[in-house]
Amino acid sequence: MRTAVEVRTRSGDAVLLARLRALDGCGSVHSVFRGVVNLLLPDGELIALAARGRENAPRTLVVEIAHWGHSGVAAGRPVEFRAGGIALPDGAGGLWVDAREAEEWHPIVPSLAAFSPAELGTAARALDRLTRTYGQSGGMLGAAAAAAPMEIAVCAALDRGRAALVKAVRTSDTAGIRAAILALHGLGPGLTPAGDDFLTGIALLSALDGSGLDGYARTLRDVLATHSGRTTLLSTTTLHEALSGRVRAALVDVLNVLAAGRGQSERHLLDTVQNPVRRALAHGHTSGTDTLSGLATGLHLERELRGSL
């Protein structure tokens, strides 16, 4: 019997690393992609093993492997969690992911408390402009040119859901917020549907100190608790993490650059935040675009809510 190949973990979510140190049990491989393997913990929660060069993210370890294409890891196979590491066995010995010496990653997000309504508006306009300039159509930015009828219909529904949510949040209409969230939740194709990505962007803002979106956050939490099968496990996990202010590194960078640019002109802010925005937009097909669309919408709402106080 061959010995498992050891794979070192470069960095990982500090919360996950702490949990792995004491974890002992069996899970399984949820799904396998070239850049990421998703695993189920013994309690059914989802975590990810990302290939070298991928960004840090909640519930994620970045490991020393170029890609997962020829790793032998397959969906449905058992996984063993032992103190400080993860065994992914197969007939050839499998892999041992050693997380004991991994660098801890902490997603540190800024506060909104010091932003004036004008500064929130500047940040919202800059982010919206960059997202529309460099983002990918097919989701919150509308259907692509020559799109199929299904894409056109989904994008129209996404636009209606966004408009309904903005109206409901502006008027503190809890029933309307819930209806709009339900209209967007799970809407769109892929592992993280566009509607969920949009909700994630607003959820992230709602978790920041000084946010006025607590009504949205409460309603979204309730929807997630009462409609658990409405979307994918990955999307549900992402939404829960965003509600705690925990998102992938590129989004954390966007927030921190926007916060550092408080008081700058819109033109100056466009220059300083462009690179982090473009890194965030590169996530998935339309996922980065849809999440930043939610973030921009959330900033506009924060400005309006702040201005009404």
Q: Break the chain into its structural domains and give their ranges.
A: 5-105, 117-307
Model confidence at 157: pLDDT above 60: yes
Average pLDDT, the chain: 95
The model's confidence at residue 155, banded by pLDDT at 50, 70 and 90, is very high
**pLDDT given at position 91:** 54
Separation CA 274–CA 130 (nearest Å): 7
Average pLDDT value for residue range 161-171 = 98
Each residue's pLDDT tens digit, 198-211 = 999 999 999 999 99
Q: Over pLDDT 90: what percentage of the chain?
A: 92
Average pLDDT value for residue range 151-158 = 98
Paired tokens of 168:
């409901």
**pLDDT given at position 309:** 45
Model confidence at 297: pLDDT above 50: yes
Model confidence at 83: pLDDT above 70: yes
Is the pTM for the entire model greater than 0.85? Answer: yes
Residue of 145, 138, 147, 148 whose CA lies nearest to 187: 138
Residue of 220, 261, 217 whose CA lies nearest to 110: 261
Separation CA 199–CA 217 (nearest Å): 10
Separation CA 142–CA 6 (nearest Å): 45
**pLDDT given at position 86:** 96
**pLDDT given at position 93:** 60
**H or E element: which one contains 100?**
none
The two most distant CA atoms of the chain are separated, in Å, by 69
Paired tokens of 224:
């997630």
**pLDDT given at position 232:** 96
User: Could you please report the per-residue DSSP string of 167-188?
Assistant: HHHHTT-HHHHHHHHHHHTT-S
The model's confidence at residue 217, banded by pLDDT at 50, 70 and 90, is very high
Rg (CA), the chain: 20
Model confidence at 4: pLDDT above 90: no
**pLDDT given at position 1:** 41
Each residue's pLDDT tens digit, 11-21 = 999 999 999 99
N-term to C-term CA, the chain: 69
CA 301: distance to chain centroid? 20
Each residue's pLDDT tens digit, 222-240 = 999 999 889 999 999 999 9
**pLDDT given at position 177:** 99
* Stated length of the chain: 309
Model confidence at 41: pLDDT above 60: yes
Average pLDDT value for residue range 87-104 = 86
**H or E element: which one contains 62?**
strand 60-63
DSSP tag of 276? H
